Amino acid sequence: MTVAAPNYELVQQDGLETSLLEVSMGPHHPSTHGVFRMDVKLDGETVVDLKPVFGYLHRNHEKLAENMSYLASMPFTDRLDYFNSMTNNWAYALAAEQLVEIEIPERAEYLRVIMSELTRLVNHVSLVGFFVNDLGALGTPLLYAFREREKILDLFEQASGARMMCNYFRFGGLRCDVPDGWLDRTREVVDRFPKFLDEYEKLLCENEIILSRTQGVGNLSKELAISAGITGPMLRASGVNYDIRKVDNYGIYERFKFRVPYSEGDVGDCYDRFMVRMLEMRESIGILRQALDGIENGPIMGNAGKVFKPQKSEAYGRVEAPKGELGFYLVADGTTQPYRYRVRPPSFINLTVLQDMCIGQQVADAVIILGSIDIVLGEVDR
């Protein structure tokens, strides 16, 4: 049920004719976070109608994956949401592990949690930077975020060999163990992170301009958010307490004590989405600390053989990726290639409500609403 543009009547005065300004924002627009296009109809500065246009980065990832072995799709999942390759890997591994019975060793589970929470820090901290960049802050918060992100990416590089395209998870464990001293370095980074967050919050959270720019902009009601399948921080910003880490308890999340921040009111505006992410980072640091305390030595690969050949079955594995629910749906037909391989991309489905949130707002708001949804076009277009 699309919300059509409200019946907009053009004001005609003194015989002067007026018409709407149609602007194609994107695919080269600086703040569409990639190659995304919004066909916007404007009355002055007010958005009267908005149509998202997808597909500029479409490469039919699903078809590619259906024509190669299960393992060979793993590096391609890195390229979906190229900010969070670790959680993408996990979601895929989780789905595949449901197809066959694989025991995952303890150490691998801990490392998975550590990697995924580090990824969440990376994503949220840079998303906030990008968001404030969309507000017009000339990149200062973004570069602070990237400064901290570098430290985490170094950790990823040490563990997996690559900074962004990690390709680290395997069915039944991880590709390799982390090098000596890695956990200490991680602890150092994690211990330093709250100090940075304090500074970041001081820079952003009380700024009058950010407050007045983001509050009351892009409201998303609870009912619409649930119905539209919004997930992740965006859903929690609309006041729904739903976190797949809590609901599904995948991996070993039930062992950690953490809280899920969600908004109090029913507003669900850009400010809520921004703040929920800021608060979530603190919780992630808590999880990381517990995981770093709890991790022990041991094997990192389960009993999975090299040949991954599941029986005829299907599985849907979902994780709480930083952007929302990332699901992988696999249908196995008994061969070494998946018969059907489907990605449930959170940022694609979160875009469902873009139109509803933008209509009636200003052009500048449309940009920050898009920024607050947190999309990565590698995932939207697949």
Peptide bond connecting 310 to the previous residue in cis, omega within 30 degrees of 0 = no
Using the rule CB under 8 A, is 135 a contact of another protein?
A: yes
The distance of closest approach from Cβ of residue 291 to another protein in the complex, given in angstroms and rounded to an integer, is 18
What is the DSSP secondary structure assignment for residue 103, as one 8-state letter?
P
Instruction: Pick the binder of another protein from 227, 266, 298, 299 (CB under 8 A).
Output: 227
Residue carrying structure tokens 């590089």: 157
- Hey, what are 105's tokens? 């060793």
Residue with tokens 């910003």: 237
Residue 349 in the binding site for another protein (CB under 8 A): yes
- Count, residues near another protein per rule CB under 8 A: 131
Minimum distance from CB of 362 to another protein (Å)?
6
Q: Closer to another protein at the Cβ: 208 or 293?
A: 208
249 binds another protein (CB under 8 A): yes
- Sites for another protein among residues 258-277 (CB under 8 A): 259-265, 271-272, 275-276
**C-beta of 380: minimal distance to another protein in Å?**
9
Under the criterion CB under 8 A, does residue 85 sit at the interface with another protein?
Answer: no
* Piece of 6-14, 116-124, 220-228, 285-293 that binds another protein (CB under 8 A): 220-228
246 binds another protein (CB under 8 A): yes
Q: Closest CB to another protein among 206 and 296?
A: 206
- Kindly state the smallest distance separating residue 229's Cβ from another protein, in Å: 3
Decide: is 255 part of the binding site for another protein (CB under 8 A).
no
Name the minimum Å distance from CB 211 to another protein.
5
Q: What is the chain's length?
A: 382
Distance CA 145, CA 167 (A): 23
Query: Which residue number, 31 or 126, has a Cβ lying nearer to another protein?
Result: 31
* Eight-state DSSP code of residue 100: S
Q: Which helix (H) or strand (E) holds 327?
A: strand 324-332
* Cα–chain center distance at 36: 16
> Binding to another protein (CB under 8 A): which residues in 310-329?
312-314, 316, 318, 325, 327, 329
In whole angstroms, give the CA distance from residue 250 to residue 231: 17
Q: Does 179 bind another protein (CB under 8 A)?
A: yes
| Residue 298 makes contact with another protein by CB under 8 A | no
CB-based burial label for 208 (10 Å; 0-12, 13-18, 19+): exposed
- Asked if 34 contacts 377 with a C-beta cutoff of 8 angstroms, the reply is yes
Is the Cβ of residue 215 or residue 294 nearer to another protein in the bound state? 215
Compute and round to an integer the Cα radius of gyration of the chain.
22
Site for another protein contains 37 (CB under 8 A): no
Q: Please say which residue, 13 or 306, places its beta carbon nearer to another protein.
A: 306
For residue 133, state whether it binds another protein (rule: CB under 8 A): yes
Among 80, 279, 369, 377, binds another protein (CB under 8 A): 279
Helix 182-204 vs helix 140-160: angle between axes, to the nearest 10 degrees?
A: 170
**Taking CB under 8 A as the rule, does residue 219 contact another protein?**
no
Query: Which CB sits closer to another protein, 290 or 362?
Result: 362
The correct pick among 20, 183, 292, 363 for binding another protein (CB under 8 A) is 363
- 5 binding another protein? (CB under 8 A): no
Q: What are phi and psi of 234, to 5 degrees?
A: -65, -40
- DSSP letter at 362? B
CA–CA separation, 119 and 72 (whole Å): 22
- Residues 160 and 74: their CA atoms lie apart, in Å, by 14
Residue with tokens 């627009």: 29
Q: Is 241 in the site for another protein (CB under 8 A)?
A: yes
Contacts of 212 (CB under 8 A, 6+ apart): none
